[in-house]
């Protein structure tokens, strides 16, 4: 009976071994990426980066302060960006546009490292995420 064999110790062990090995494999790329992100934050590099993209915000019909949330999201995590967005007191439309852009381009350092590790072309993917996020932001800004 195949269904009985599926619950055997051997199958469970094989799955657990694969899971642990893959987690260790991820660690080699994940840990340096997390440390790099924390260093960028600690050195206060996010604010200057956000000032660079601030002039672009008008194209997305967003106030300039949103640029810091988008940069925080792109560099560290979407949650860092979302927390800041929530604190800015934006309209529902602005929130939806900014959140869409954030969701396309977030955690780029960590996720590019992971995706490269998985054997994909992470740089191409990161570029496409940023471009498609900006395109979606432009379209929503016109439509909403």
Partner 1 sequence: MAAGVVEGLVSLGQIGLIIVPVMIFLEMLKETGVLEFLNRRMSPYTRLLGLPGSAVPALSAGLVFGLTFGSGIVIQTAREGRLTRAELTLLCLFLSICHAVIEETVIFLAIGADGLLILAVRLVVAVLLTASLARLLGVLAGRSTSVHDGT
45 binds partner 1 (CB under 8 A): no
Question: Which position has the token pair 């987690």?
Answer: 23
Cβ closer to partner 1: 67 or 107? 107
115 binds partner 1 (CB under 8 A): yes
Count of CB atoms situated within 10 Å of the CB of 134: 16
Q: From the CA atom positions of the chain, what is the Rg in Å?
A: 20
Cβ closer to partner 1: 2 or 142? 2
Of residues 19-38, which lie at the interface with partner 1 (CB under 8 A)?
A: 19-20, 22-23, 25-27, 30-31, 34-35, 37-38
The string of DSSP codes covering the chain is -HHHHTTSHHHHHHHHHHHHHHHHHHHHHHHHHHHHHHHHHHTT-HHHHHHHHGGGGGGGT--TTHHHHHHHHHHS-HHHHHHHHHHTT--HHHHHHHHHHHHHS-SHHHHHHHHHHTTS-HHHHHHHHHHHHHHHHHHHHHH-
* Least CB distance to partner 1 at residue 40 (A): 10
One residue of 63, 96, 109, 134 binding partner 1 per CB under 8 A:
96
One residue of 55, 58, 59, 121 binding partner 1 per CB under 8 A:
121
Binding site for partner 1 (CB under 8 A): 2-3, 5-7, 11-12, 14-16, 18-20, 22-23, 25-27, 30-31, 34-35, 37-39, 42, 78-79, 82, 85-86, 92, 95-96, 98-100, 103-104, 107, 110-111, 114-115, 117-122, 124-126, 128-129, 132, 135-136, 140
């Amino acid at each position: 009976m195949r269904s009985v064999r599926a619950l055997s110790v051997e199958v469970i062990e094989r799955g657990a071994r694969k899971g642990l090995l893959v987690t260790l494999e991820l660690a080699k790329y994940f840990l340096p990426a997390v440390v790099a992100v924390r260093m960028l934050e600690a050195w206060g590099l996010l604010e200057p980066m956000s000032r660079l993209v601030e002039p672009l915000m008008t194209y997305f019909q967003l106030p300039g302060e949103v640029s810091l949330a988008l940069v925080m999201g792109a560099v560290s995590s979407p949650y860092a960006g979302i927390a800041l967005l929530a604190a800015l007191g934006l309209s529902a439309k602005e929130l939806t546009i900014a959140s869409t852009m954030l969701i396309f381009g977030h955690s780029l350092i960590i996720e590019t490292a992971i995706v490269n590790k998985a054997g994909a072309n992470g740089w191409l993917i990161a570029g496409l995420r940023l471009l498609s996020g900006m395109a979606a932001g432009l379209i929503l800004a016109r439509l909403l």
